[in-house]
């Protein structure tokens, strides 16, 4: 698998520092797990951060800090369970996401469907799997927020180039694009999004209210 499109370095640095929202951390993390180049960059940032911590002056803690932490752990509910996995484990749920609860498929537009990913609830970004039929053409649009897209299967193209498995695409309110899915098969993407799509042109403004991701 050849990866041609990567997250911006600033985004990778925030990922390494744990500064991203959960949805963004998820999408960037899945990319990093499959991209040796970005994994090396993240390790370098983590090593720099570790070196900085070693040189920092120790911060004094209260004498009973450890005991208070352990008491909080003891007070945690004994029957706490991990979040349930997706009930319908099909090919739309890649291994990296099988610790998450994945919602049922919902049709968004002709040839376009999505499955929400249940997160902890913190942050404004939402994550979902987006599946597009071969040859699908979206109307030209921009975003009122940000959109992080990782291709899992298939391909799509727009003004920024061709995107295949492992490729990462970043969109915001300064980007206008019109993705076109390749004819070789469906395109499955992992997406983290804030805000909404904003369709361009008269037709886009007419159907925009009906396209919700």
The Cα–Cα gap between 103 and 93 comes to: 10
Structure confidence at residue 75 as a pLDDT band (50, 70, 90): low
The more confident residue out of 21 and 196 is 21
The Cα–Cα gap between 15 and 123 comes to: 15
What pLDDT, on the 0 to 100 scale, is given for residue 55?
53
Number of domains in the chain: 1
Q: How many CB atoms lie within 10 A of CB 3?
A: 18
Running DSSP on this structure, what letter comes out for residue 183? T
With a cut of 70, say whether residue 6 has pLDDT above it.
yes
> By mean pLDDT, which of 23-27, 175-179, 184-188 is the weakest?
175-179
The CATH number covering residue 157 comes to 2.60.120.10
The pLDDT tens digits of the residues spanning 108-126 come to 878 889 899 999 877 788 8
The Cα–Cα gap between 129 and 141 comes to: 19
Domain that holds residue 169: 1-213
The Cα–Cα gap between 199 and 139 comes to: 7
State whether residue 196 is helix, strand or coil. Answer: coil
Contact 97, 89 (CB under 8 A): no
The Cα–Cα gap between 44 and 46 comes to: 5
The Cα–Cα gap between 3 and 167 comes to: 5
Structure confidence at residue 183 as a pLDDT band (50, 70, 90): very high
Tell which residue, 179, 10, 23, has the closest CA to residue 111.
Answer: 179
Tell which residue, 198, 159, 125, 106, has the closest CA to residue 169.
Answer: 159
Q: Token match 């004498």: residue?
A: 63
The pLDDT tens digits of the residues spanning 142-151 come to 667 788 999 9
CB neighbour list of residue 153: distance below 8 Å, 6 or more residues apart: 165, 185, 186, 187, 188
């Amino acid at each position: 698998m050849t990866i041609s499109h990567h997250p911006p370095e600033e985004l990778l640095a925030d990922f390494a520092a744990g500064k991203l929202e959960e949805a963004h951390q998820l999408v960037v993390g899945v990319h990093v797990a499959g991209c040796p180049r970005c994994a090396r960059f993240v390790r370098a940032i983590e090593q720099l951060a570790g070196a900085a911590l070693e040189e920092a002056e120790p911060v004094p803690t209260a004498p009973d800090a450890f005991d208070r932490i352990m008491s909080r752990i003891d007070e945690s509910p004994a029957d706490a369970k991990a979040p349930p996995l997706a009930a319908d484990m099909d090919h739309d749920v890649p291994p990296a996401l099988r610790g998450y609860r994945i919602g049922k498929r919902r049709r968004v537009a002709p040839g376009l469907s999505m499955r929400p990913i249940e997160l902890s609830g913190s942050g404004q970004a939402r994550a979902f799997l987006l599946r597009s039929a071969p040859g699908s053409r979206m109307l030209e649009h921009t975003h009122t927020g940000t959109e992080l897209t990782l291709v899992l299967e298939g391909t799509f193209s727009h003004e920024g180039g061709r995107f295949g498995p492992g490729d990462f695409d970043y969109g915001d309110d300064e980007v206008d694009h019109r993705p076109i899915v390749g004819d070789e098969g469906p395109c499955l993407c992992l997406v983290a999004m804030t805000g909404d799509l904003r369709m361009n042109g008269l037709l886009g403004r007419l159907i925009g209210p009906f396209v919700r991701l």
